[in-house]
Amino acid sequence: MISGRGGTMKTRPGICNRKKSFATRDEAERVAARAPFKLRAYRCDLCRKYHLTSRTKGMKTPRYELGR
């Protein structure tokens, strides 16, 4: 579930544990920019780090996508 435009998602513990975590949004967005499909960074409410998701509804467009 995405809440607001800030990109906060409710992630279940099992999902959080399986996903790659990033210390900063910039680090996560650099990885997302190299992906062959659209990915968005979001801050996880459980671990307080950043993960990537392919879900885009309600999330703001990252800086690296603005120039595309």
Query: Using one digit for the tens of pLDDT, what is the confidence trace for 3-61?
Result: 444 445 677 888 899 999 999 999 999 999 999 998 999 999 999 999 999 987 666 66
Q: Which of 42, 40, 33, 37 is nearest to 56 (CA)?
A: 40
Containing domain of residue 45, as a range? Answer: 2-59
Residue 32 lies in a domain: yes
6 domain residue, yes or no: yes
E strand or H helix that includes residue 16: helix 13-18
Whether 68 maps to a domain, the answer reads no
- The total number of structural domains that make up the chain: 1
| Rounded Cα–Cα distance for residues 5 and 14 (Å) | 24
Q: Is there a domain that residue 18 lies in?
A: yes
Looking at residue 31, the DSSP 8-state letter turns out to be H
User: Does residue 15 lie within any of the structural domains?
Assistant: yes
Report yes or no on 67 lying in a domain: no
- Decide: pTM greater than 0.85: no
